[in-house]
Amino acid sequence: AEDAINALKEMSTPNASVIRDGKETSIKSTELVVGDIVRLEAGDIVPADVRLIESASLQVEEASLTGESVPINKSAETLQETDLPLGDRTNLGFMNTNVTYGRGVGVVTGTGMQTEIGHIAGMLEATDETKTPLQANLAKLGQVLTYLILGFAVVTFIVGLARGKETIIDMLLTSISLAVAAIPEGLPAIVTITLALGTTRMAARHALVRKLPAVETLGSTDIIGSDKTGTLTQNKMTVEKLVVNTEISDAATTEELTGTYARLADILALNNDTKRTENGFIGDPTETALIAFNENHGRDLDKLFTEMPRVAEIPFDSERKLMSTVHPAPTGYIITVKGAPDELLKRATRIEINGEIKPLSDDIRAKLLSINSELATQALRVLGFAYKTVDQIPGNLDTETVEQELVFTGFVGMIDPERPEVAQAVAEAKAAGIRPMMVTGDHRDTAAAIAIRLGILDEADKETAVIS
């Protein structure tokens, strides 16, 4: 187990692009020192704690520290407040977090144990180790046996002398021999072999045990506390619901994408900054989920990107909560827009239903907002999508010109789904008398929704069993 863990540590050591003496070079992150200038790009693992000095649409996923699977927008601006939570320190990058979008440059402020992840490791090391139930019981057994054996040896010695048939030396040797013979010297070996067999069985199930007594401790478990993101869930955003033609449908059961469904799928792919590499997708988890949705439905994205390349864009910003892209179309150009559903509906005047464009009435708008609220209560992250066609690219590419009089296409509801094997594991734990609990920094409603889906929480206990 130790060799396997050491091998994993070696494999997980990322490289860092560092600027030294005016030259950029790649080194192991373990060779970084405070004051080094590092360059960060999409797909990189932040090699140390850094203070950002440049940021271009930089987004970092910090689930390993905060439990929040949605990437955080980073900037180089000075923060006025002090003692902010980690998730709100937007001008800092933290070691072992993932850059999902954009690029940036930062100055190393901490390495190793001086990083935030290092502080967590330090707290774990500083925790006093308590004896396992087996260790405590063995210690108690040893103490009892010691008293019994000593008592038996003393009684034997006294009785032998009282009979007057043996010398003091003979009785002393006899008593010592009896004491030594009574010691269960094979017990430690038997315990070790038993624990080793348990370790072997766990290794066969891909669980590495570093300390043998931990095997016995697991058998005494009453409560299991687990993080949500990446442990109970896949740490991978997935499209779960579609809202097209003002109706909600399951993304997994929507087999053939035609009509407005096909239009929505095109916009999901076109209005997207995900990059495809040999190792998979690089980008914002939300956007990679939209690309994955298209690929899961067998759509030819290479052909789509070739026929409709991006020729202009208005990047996303947190104020207007929208992103727009411009692409050539069979007649003129198509402008695709995605963003917050309420903001998108404010700018839409028409809606596409079953391939036909109709006016977006107040009743339909109200229904869509109600659907948005319904999906939000299910802990889904909802994005809205719209488009419009133009004869030529607007000369003044601003939001007032581009993001108005849109044709609403649909909503997409996404979630970081639970791991498929977790629900069964939770049921087995409960059957064994173990109480599973979720520990997460996510929003209360999100945590409750996932816990209910996994069987950790009952719907009736939602209000009392969720502590925040």
- Residue 25 tokens read as 């070079």
CA distance 348 to 304: 25
**pLDDT at 138 (0 to 100):** 82
Total Cβ atoms within 10 A of residue 140: 10
Residue 332 phi/psi, 5-degree rounding, is 80, -135
Residue that is written with structure tokens 């901490």 in the block? 110
6 band by pLDDT with thresholds 50, 70 and 90: low
Question: Is 227 a known active-site residue?
Answer: yes
305 band by pLDDT with thresholds 50, 70 and 90: very high
Query: With b meaning 16 or more CB within 10 Å and e meaning fewer, what string describes 354-370?
Result: eeeeeebeeebbeebee
Position 208 pLDDT exceeds 80: no
CA distance 301 to 291: 9
Catalytic residue among 44, 83, 128, 227: 227
**pLDDT at 35 (0 to 100):** 93
Residue 253 phi/psi, 5-degree rounding, is -95, -5
Burial of 107 (0-12, 13-18, 19+ CB in 10 A): middle
**pLDDT at 307 (0 to 100):** 93
Burial of 378 (0-12, 13-18, 19+ CB in 10 A): middle
Residue that is written with structure tokens 């007594």 in the block? 213
**pLDDT at 468 (0 to 100):** 60
The mean pLDDT of 125-153, rounded to a whole number, is 81
**pLDDT at 128 (0 to 100):** 66
**pLDDT at 282 (0 to 100):** 77
The predicted-structure confidence for 154-207, as pLDDT tens digits, reads as follows 998 888 888 877 788 888 898 888 888 888 888 888 888 888 888 888 888 777
**pLDDT at 378 (0 to 100):** 82
**pLDDT at 8 (0 to 100):** 54
Q: What is the second-level CATH architecture of the domain 2-126?
A: Distorted Sandwich (2.70)
**pLDDT at 3 (0 to 100):** 63
Question: Is-contact 352 407, C-beta < 8 A?
Answer: yes
The mean pLDDT of 197-222, rounded to a whole number, is 78
Dihedral in degrees, nearest 10, Cα atoms 233, 236, 237, 242 = -80
Q: Please state whether the predicted TM-score (pTM) of the whole model is above 0.75.
A: no
Share of the chain above pLDDT 90, in %: 32
State the chain's mean pLDDT as an integer.
85
Share of the chain above pLDDT 70, in %: 94
**pLDDT at 182 (0 to 100):** 84
The predicted-structure confidence for 308-358, as pLDDT tens digits, reads as follows 999 988 888 777 889 999 999 988 999 999 999 999 999 999 999 998 999
- Residue 403 tokens read as 């993001």
Question: Is-contact 390 311, C-beta < 8 A?
Answer: no
Position 37 pLDDT exceeds 90: yes
CA distance 233 to 379: 13
Sign of CA dihedral 237, 239, 241, 246: positive
The predicted-structure confidence for 71-110, as pLDDT tens digits, reads as follows 888 999 998 888 888 888 999 999 988 888 888 999 999 9
- Residue 304 tokens read as 């789509």
For domain 238-364+382-415, give its CATH number from 3.40.1110.10, 2.120.10.80, 3.40.190.10, 3.90.190.10.
Answer: 3.40.1110.10
Map out the domains of the chain as residue ranges. 2-126, 133-222, 227-234+419-465, 238-364+382-415
CA distance 178 to 163: 18
Position 11 pLDDT exceeds 70: no
- Residue 464 tokens read as 């009392």
Position 416 pLDDT exceeds 80: yes
Position 254 pLDDT exceeds 60: yes
Total Cβ atoms within 10 A of residue 329: 14
- Residue 246 tokens read as 């003002």
